[in-house]
Structure 1
Amino acid sequence: MPDRVRMPDRVDAVAFDVLETLLDLDPIAARLEDVGQPAEALGPFFMRFQRDAMALTLAGDFAEFTATARQALRTETRQALSEEQLAHVLEGFARVPAFPDAVPALRRLSEAGVGVGCLTVGDPDNTRSFLAGAGLAGYVDHVVTAEMAGVWKPAPGIYRHAAQVLGCDLGRMALVAVHAWDCHGAKRAGALAGWCSRLEGEPGDVFLPADVRGDDLVEVVEGLLAL
Structure 2
Amino acid sequence: MTGICFDMYGTLCDTSSVRTRLGAELDVADRLVAAVDDTWRRKQLQYSYQSAQMDDYEPFWEITGHALEYALAQFDLDPDAATRERIREAYDHLTPFAGAAETLDRLSAAGHEVVVLSNGNPAMLERLAENAGLRSHLDGIVSAHGVRTFKPDPSVYEHAAETLDRPLDTCRLVSSNAWDIAGAGTAGMATTWVNRRRDPPEAIGARPDHEVTGLPAVADDLSSD
Give 1:214 deviation, angstroms: 0.6
In structure 2, the CA distance between the partners of 1:66 and 1:200, relative to structure 1 (3 Å rule), is: farther
Q: What is the count of residue pairs matched by the alignment?
A: 217
Does the 8 A contact of 1:180 with 1:207 survive in 2? no
Show structure 1 runs of 5+ residues with no match: 1-10
Q: How does 1:115-134 map to 2 (within 5 A)?
A: 115-134=113-132
The residue number in structure 2 matching 1:62 is 57
Q: How does 1:186-205 map to 2 (within 5 A)?
A: 186-199=184-197, 201-205=199-203
In structure 2, what is the Cα distance between the partners aligned to 1:199 and 1:131? 24
Task: Give CA deviations for 1:24-44 in whole Å, capped at 9, x if unaligned.
Answer: 123311222222452211111
**Which of 83, 86, 92 matches 2:84?**
86
Task: Give CA deviations for 1:113-165 in whole Å, capped at 9, x if unaligned.
Answer: 10011011222123122212222112211111121222100000000000111
In structure 1, what is the Cα distance between the partners aligned to 2:71 and 2:128? 25
In structure 1, what is the Cα distance between the partners aligned to 2:82 and 2:175? 32
Does the 8 A contact of 1:212 with 1:224 survive in 2? no
The residue number in structure 2 matching 1:7 is none
Q: How does 1:1-227 map to 2 (within 5 A)?
A: 12-33=2-23, 34-36=25-27, 38-40=32-34, 41-78=36-73, 80-199=78-197, 201-225=199-223
State, as a whole percentage, how many aligned pairs show the same letter.
25
The one-letter amino acid of 2:63's match is T
TM-score by length of 2: 0.89
Task: Give CA deviations for 1:37-64 in whole Å, capped at 9, x if unaligned.
Answer: 5221111111111101111101112132
Does the 8 A contact of 1:160 with 1:170 survive in 2? yes
In structure 2, what is the Cα distance between the partners aligned to 1:204 and 1:27? 25
SS in 2 for 1:100: coil
CA RMSD of the aligned region, Å? 1.7
SS in 2 for 1:202: coil
Indicate the structure with greater helix content. 2
Does the 8 A contact of 1:31 with 1:92 survive in 2? yes
SS in 2 for 1:116: strand
Give 1:207 deviation, angstroms: 4.4
The one-letter amino acid of 1:25's match is T
Show structure 2 runs of 5+ residues with no match: none
Task: Give CA deviations for 1:5-32 in whole Å, capped at 9, x if unaligned.
Answer: xxxxxx5110000011001123311222
Does the 8 A contact of 2:182 with 2:202 survive in 1? no
In structure 2, what is the Cα distance between the partners aligned to 1:205 and 1:154? 15
In structure 1, what is the Cα distance between the partners aligned to 2:2 and 2:62? 35
Give 1:80 deviation, angstroms: 2.2
SS in 1 for 2:56: coil
TM-score by length of 1: 0.89
Structure 1 segments (4+ residues) deviating >4 Å: none
Which segment drifts farther, 164-173 or 154-163? 164-173
